[in-house]
Amino acid sequence: MNMPMPDADSPRILPQHLDDLLGEAARIRDTHWGRTVTYSRKVFVPLTNMCRDTCGYCTFVKDPGSPQANIMTPDQVLASARRGEAEGCKELLFSLGEKPELRHEAARAGLARLGYTRMTAYLRDMCALVLNETSLLPHVNAGTLTDAELEELRPVAASMGMMLETVSRRLMRKGGPHHACPDKVPLQRLRTLDRAGLRRVPFTTGLLIGIGETWAERLEALHAIDAAHRRHGHIQEVIIQNFQRKPDIAMANHPEPSLEDMLRTIAAARIILSPDISLQAPPNLSARHIAYLGAGINDWGGISPVTIDFINPQHEWPEIRTLAASCAEAGFELRERLTVYPRFMQGGDFISPPVLARVSALAGAEGLARDQRHIGEVQ
């Protein structure tokens, strides 16, 4: 039995039986991405762990009164970048809480000590520092952004990202994971997706599943992402991330999505989204991540040989050589990509000239990383 999916431009049918759903998704992946699965070798830089939001599943954020709350200094950013370079990373991912200075005096004071009043201005200068002083490509995960902020960051960031997470407004009600989180208003996040497209920014987004959204809301979110991509052509990848229970979060007793739920969502994403959008699921949030290959993914996202996953610190990255061996066993070749996908390098105006020069220096003929470091490590 098939369920018709609403889509004004090209209605897509989602097979209901799991095997059929996975088979269709894998067929689309094989046609458009082949049997190559990619990852980005990157160093993660949590520029600040303060945030004006208070999502019920977040372990990244620290209370501004806590001794662990901080803003990294330029020296600390450079030290992390150097460690990444030494381990063959090509990307430096800035992750940070959203606009903490609008809510917390500690954030305003920390920025003032560094000579800034706005986190985005500091982030811009840290991206420029990385571009000028290292061989790495900055990628920015700064959440919702205004037109002016996107303009500010675009010349110094190779790509940017913001998880849409969900389009459910219900989750903002009292008791919900997004209660009192101004940056989690779905309309604000959808606006950021569109603004990034209008400004020709290669953009990463995705869903966080299992936080209380319905299946229909998940599909609605995927259709919304695809619609933004059809308007602007800028969505380079979509991440399907599973909620993880942790002891120290408000949602400590909330059930995690099952593997089947994850596989169904990944496969639905592969069928709904334009085939040129890379589909990614993180390999460190399920011991059974190799099963994701059977649901249509073609990318594992960022893996760091240097830093922990600051968003899910209790889950270690897989060792890259081990992941390469597991992929080979499943019939896939693991290849290292850059933060920007190849199609954005082929002309057009998606990458600013100084960043494009760096991208071109790091890319091989196919647009993936010229230096496939893990292959050298395996030999």
> What does the alpha-carbon distance between residue 245 and residue 251 come to, in Å, rounded to a whole number?
7
Q: Hey, which residues between 176 and 195 contact ligand SF4 (CB under 6 A)? A: 183
If binding is defined by CB under 6 A, does position 54 make contact with ligand SF4?
A: yes
> Nearer Cβ to ligand SF4, position 177 or 367?
177
Distance CA 271, CA 284 (A): 24
Residue pair 274/33 in contact (Cβ under 8 Å)? The answer is: no
| DSSP-H helix ranges across the chain | 18-33, 74-86, 105-114, 119-133, 147-153, 186-198, 215-232, 259-272, 320-329, 353-362, 373-378
Taking residues 80 to 109 in sequence order and writing x for each that binds ligand SF4 by CB under 6 A, - otherwise, the string is -----------------xx-----------
- The verdict on 53 binding ligand SF4 (CB under 6 A) reads yes
Nearer to ligand SF4, 143 or 197 (CB): 143
DSSP state string for 275-299? TTSEEE--TTS-TTGGGGGGGT--E
Q: Closer CB to ligand SF4, residue 54 or residue 312?
A: 54
How far lies 377's CA from each of 105, 321, 347, 370, 373, in Å? 47, 7, 33, 15, 6
Pick one of 14, 21, 43, 55: the residue that binds ligand SF4 (CB under 6 A). Answer: 55
Of 185 and 375, nearer to ligand SF4 (C-beta) is 185
Neighbouring-strand partners of residue 239: 206, 280
Among 58, 190, 225, 273, binds ligand SF4 (CB under 6 A): 58
Neighbouring CB atoms inside 10 A of 204's CB total 27
Q: Does 138 bind ligand SF4 (CB under 6 A)?
A: no
Helix pair angle (259-272, 215-232), 10° resolution: 30
Site string for ligand SF4, 142-161 (x = CB under 6 A): -x------------------
Give 57 or 317: the residue with its C-beta nearer to ligand SF4: 57
Closest CA to 98 of 180, 7, 3, 173: 180
Instruction: Select the span of 49-57, 86-94, 167-175, 360-368 touching ligand SF4 (CB under 6 A).
Output: 49-57
Min separation Cβ 56 and ligand SF4, Å = 9
Does position 310 interact with ligand SF4 (CB under 6 A)? The reply is no
**Residue 312 found at the interface with ligand SF4 (CB under 6 A):** no
Tell me, what DSSP letter sits at residue 329? H
Nearest distance in Å: CB 59, ligand SF4? 8
Closest CA to 311 of 206, 182, 229: 206
- Please state the closest distance from residue 165 (CB atom) to ligand SF4, in A: 8
Which has the closest alpha carbon to 176: 250, 256, 253? 250
Beta bridge partners of 235: 203
| Total residues interacting with ligand SF4, rule: CB under 6 A | 11
Nearer to ligand SF4, 24 or 183 (CB): 183
DSSP bridge pairs for 209: 242
Closer to ligand SF4 by Cβ: residue 61 or 89: 61
Looking only at residues 225 through 264 of this chain, which bind ligand SF4 when binding is defined by CB under 6 A? none
Task: Answer yes or no: are the C-beta atoms of 85 and 136 closer than 8 Å.
Answer: yes
Query: Which residues of this chain interact with ligand SF4, rule CB under 6 A?
Result: 51, 53-55, 58, 60-61, 97-98, 143, 183
